[in-house]
Structure 1
Amino acid sequence: MTRQVLRPMAMAMRGITPCRVGPCQPGALAAFVLLALLPSCGREESARSGPAPSKPDPKSLFSVGSISVLQSDLDLHLKEKHPGRTGDDSRKQALAELATRAQLAQAALDAGLQDDPVVRSEIARVLGSRLKEIQLSPELKTAAATPSESRLREIYTANESRFRSNEKRQVAVLWLNPNGNPEREKQYVEKLTAARQWYAENSELKSHPDQGFSVLSVDYSEHQASRYKGGVVGWLESGGTMDPWSKAVAEIAFELPAAGGVSEVIHRPEGVFLVRVMAGQPAVLRSFESVADELARNEQQRLRQEAETKFQDTISEKYPVHGLN
C-alpha cells in the first residue's frame, strides 16, 4: 500500500496527521489505535468471508466488525467536530461520521495495513506523543511555574561567583626580548631604564594615563600588537590570559596602584618589561534584583530538562530494548 493511497484514507479518518509538535489530538490517536491494536481477522480469512464481528462491548454505542465505538468516542467527536451543538441532529451526524470512520478502519485492518511500515511509524509517533502529553506534560507545567523568591535567592547565594566580575586593569607595556642572551638583557634593562627616566621627567605624559607610553612604545618596545598604539595592551584580570607573556604583564600590573602606576624595569624569563596601569575597574557583584529573571529562566530550564530525563530514564528502565545490535 503506497503512501499516496494511505494518505487519502487517513484524511477520511478525521484528518489524521502525525503529532510532531504540540499536544496530540485524541481523535487522531483513537483512529490510529484502531488500526494498530484492535483484533481483526487474518488476511486470508478476511478475503474469503469478510470480518467476523466480535462480541459487542456493553459500553459501546455500535460496532463495525471488531471495532466498537464508545460513548467517550462520541463525546470527544462532538467536542472536536461539533462544538457547542448538543441537539439530536448534531448527535446523529456525529454518529454517522464515527460509523464511516469505523468502517474505514475495519477495512484498513482487513487489508493488513496495521503491518504497513508507514502506518506503524505513525502509530508509534502518535502513541509516544500522547503518552508524553499525559505523563510528562504535567511535570513540564510544574517546571514552567515561576520559582519562589526564596528559592531564587538560594540559587543566587550558591552561585555568587557567576555574578561577580573580577577586578580589571587597563595596561600599557614596553617590552624587549633578549631571547636568553645575558648581554642583550643587560642592554635592554638599560634601554628601558632610560625610557622610564624620560617618562618620569615628562609631566604631560605622566598626567595622562590614557596615553599609555605614547611615542615611547615605537622605539622602546618589540610587542607588535601594541607598539604603534602607545603600548596599550588593553584590560587584564589578575591572571592575565592563557599565554605566559600576558600572565607576566598582569602580575606586574596588579602589584601597582590601581591607576597611573608605573613599574620598575623588570626582567623575567618572558623578557624585559616596563608596565603602566592606565585605569582600573573594581570587582563588581551584580545584585540579586538585576539577575532574578535570569535565575528564574535557568531554574525553569533545569527543571524541564530534569523532568524530561527522568521520564525517559523511567521508560528505558521499564521497557528495555532486546536484540538491538
Structure 2
Amino acid sequence: MKPVVIAVAVLAAFGLGWLGGRSTAPAAAHAPAPGPWIARIGDEYVTEAMFVEEMQRRGGSQPGQFQTAEQRRALLDDLIYRRALVDAAHRTGLDRQPAVRRSLEQILANQYLQGTLRRTQQDLDVTPEDVRAEYERRADSYTVPARRRLAMIRLGVSKDADAAAWTQAESLMAQARTKALALPADVPHFGVLAREYSDDRASRYRGGVIGWIADDRAERYTWDAAVLDAGLALKNDGDVSEVLRGADGVYLVRLVEAEPARARDFDDLAAGIRQGLLQQKLTQAEHDFRVALVKDADVEVRESALAAIAPVGPAADTTPQQPPAMPAQEG
C-alpha cells in the first residue's frame, strides 16, 4: 500500500472526529475529558462510550469477542498506538501535504455525498404510469421504419469514357435485365447473373444483394443515388428496375423483399424506458444538489485570474492523420 494511502487511512480513522477534536489548550494543561474515560493520549481521550463503540465495530457482538481483560487491553493498546501515529503525523505536518489533504478531502466529500445526495437518489423511482406516458409521448421514435432489401448489378464506366462506352455498357445491362426477368420465382435476387455481369466485388457472389435500405433514411447510404432512388420506387418483391445510368456506371436494381413500418411492442421497451427515465431523474437530482451546494458556499471567482493561467501541456495536434503507405509490391 502506498505511504500516502496508509497515512490518509490513519488520519481518517482518528483525525476526523472518532476520538474528538484536537485541543488548542497549552501542552501543560490537558483538555477536559468529554466524559468517563479509559485512556488519554495527549489532549485526546478514549472515553468509555467510544471504547464500547469500537468493540462493536470490531465484531464485539460475536461470541467470545472481548470477553477477557487481555482482549480489551489489546484493543486499547491498538487504539493508543494508532492515536500516537496520528499525533506524530500532525507534528510532522503530514496532514498539510497536498496529496494527503486531497485524499482526506475526498473522503469527507464522499461521506457527505453518501449521507445527502445518494440517499435522495435512492428514494427516486419511476412508476409504471411514467413509463407508459413516455412510451406514448415518443411513439414515433419507437417505430421501426419501413425498409427494403435490394440487389444490384453494376457495370462500372470511367468518368472520362466516351458515349460509345456508355452505350455498350447499357446494351450489356439490357441483356442482363432480360435474363433477370426470366429468373425462376424461387430466386429473389439476381442469382448467377450477378456473378456473370456485375463488377461489384462486395455483392456479385451474393446474388447482387447489397442489404437493407430504410425507406426514410436513404441519405445514410453510400450507394449511387440512381440505385437508391430506383430501389425505393420499386413496389413489389421481385420487381426489376430499368437500366440505370449512375455517376460511375450502369446499374440494374431488384427489390428482394420489403417490410412495412411497425411499432415496437411496449413490453419489449418498458425496461429500457424505465431505466432512461430513472437516469434522467438521477442526473437532475445531482444537478440540483450541485447548484444548491455551490450557491450556499459563498463562492467568488476571479475570471481574469483564471484566464491568465497558462496550460501546463502542449496543445492537441489537429493535423489530420495520414493513412499508412501501401505495402511495396513483391516480385
**Alpha-carbon distance change, 137 to 5 in structure 1, aligned in 2, over 3 angstroms:** closer
**Alpha-carbon distance change, 208 to 112 in structure 1, aligned in 2, over 3 angstroms:** same
Partners of 1:191 and 1:67 in 2: CA distance: 98
Normalising by structure 2, we get a TM-score of 0.70
Aligned counterpart in structure 1 of residue 44 of structure 2, from 36, 47, 67: 67
Aligned counterpart in structure 2 of residue 260 of structure 1, from 238, 242, 247: 238
Superposed displacement of residue 177, structure 1:
3.5
**Alpha-carbon distance change, 139 to 187 in structure 1, aligned in 2, over 3 angstroms:** same
Aligned counterpart in structure 2 of residue 126 of structure 1, from 77, 83, 107: 107
1:159 and 2:142 equivalent? no
Superposed displacement of residue 293, structure 1:
1.5
Aligned pairs for 1:160-239 (under 5 A) are 160-178=139-157, 179=159, 181-200=162-181, 202=182, 205-210=183-188, 212-238=189-215, 239=217
Match of 1:277 in 2: 255
CA contact (8 A) 1:226 1:233 kept: yes
Partners of 1:75 and 1:124 in 2: CA distance: 28
Give the partner amino acid of 1:53.
H
Aligned counterpart in structure 2 of residue 138 of structure 1, from 119, 128, 136: 119
Superposed displacement of residue 265, structure 1:
1.8
CA contact (8 A) 1:209 1:279 kept: no
**Alpha-carbon distance change, 206 to 256 in structure 1, aligned in 2, over 3 angstroms:** farther
Match of 2:325 in 1: none
Partners of 1:123 and 1:51 in 2: CA distance: 30
CA contact (8 A) 1:226 1:232 kept: yes
**Alpha-carbon distance change, 139 to 163 in structure 1, aligned in 2, over 3 angstroms:** same
CA contact (8 A) 2:36 2:47 kept: yes
**Alpha-carbon distance change, 206 to 277 in structure 1, aligned in 2, over 3 angstroms:** farther
Aligned counterpart in structure 2 of residue 303 of structure 1, from 266, 281, 301: 281
Q: Percent identity?
A: 23
- Give CA deviations for 1:197-233 in whole Å, capped at 9, x if unaligned: 2333x2xx241243x2123223433323222332221
Partners of 1:225 and 1:207 in 2: CA distance: 24
Superposed displacement of residue 30, structure 1:
5.3
Aligned pairs for 1:61-140 (under 5 A) are 61=37, 64-67=41-44, 73-74=50-51, 76-84=53-61, 102=83, 105-106=86-87, 108-117=89-98, 119-140=100-121
Superposed displacement of residue 136, structure 1:
1.9
CA contact (8 A) 1:177 1:270 kept: yes
SS in 2 for 1:174: strand
Normalising by structure 1, we get a TM-score of 0.71
CA contact (8 A) 2:173 2:243 kept: yes
**Alpha-carbon distance change, 96 to 219 in structure 1, aligned in 2, over 3 angstroms:** closer
Superposed displacement of residue 127, structure 1:
1.0
Could you say which structure has the higher helix fraction? 1
SS in 1 for 2:109: helix
Root-mean-square deviation (CA, aligned residues, Å) is 4.0
Partners of 1:83 and 1:247 in 2: CA distance: 78
Match of 2:314 in 1: none
Tell me the matched-pair count: 294
**Alpha-carbon distance change, 263 to 78 in structure 1, aligned in 2, over 3 angstroms:** same
CA contact (8 A) 1:41 1:110 kept: no
CA contact (8 A) 1:52 1:65 kept: no
Superposed displacement of residue 133, structure 1:
1.3
1:31 and 2:14 equivalent? yes
Superposed displacement of residue 299, structure 1:
2.6
1:286 and 2:264 equivalent? yes
CA contact (8 A) 1:136 1:308 kept: yes
SS in 2 for 1:278: strand
Give the partner amino acid of 1:214.
G
Give the partner amino acid of 2:210.
V
Superposed displacement of residue 310, structure 1:
3.8
Superposed displacement of residue 253, structure 1:
1.4
Partners of 1:302 and 1:242 in 2: CA distance: 30
Unaligned runs of 5+ in 2: 310-331
CA contact (8 A) 1:209 1:277 kept: no
Partners of 1:228 and 1:116 in 2: CA distance: 69
Unaligned runs of 5+ in 1: 11-15, 19-27
Superposed displacement of residue 289, structure 1:
0.7
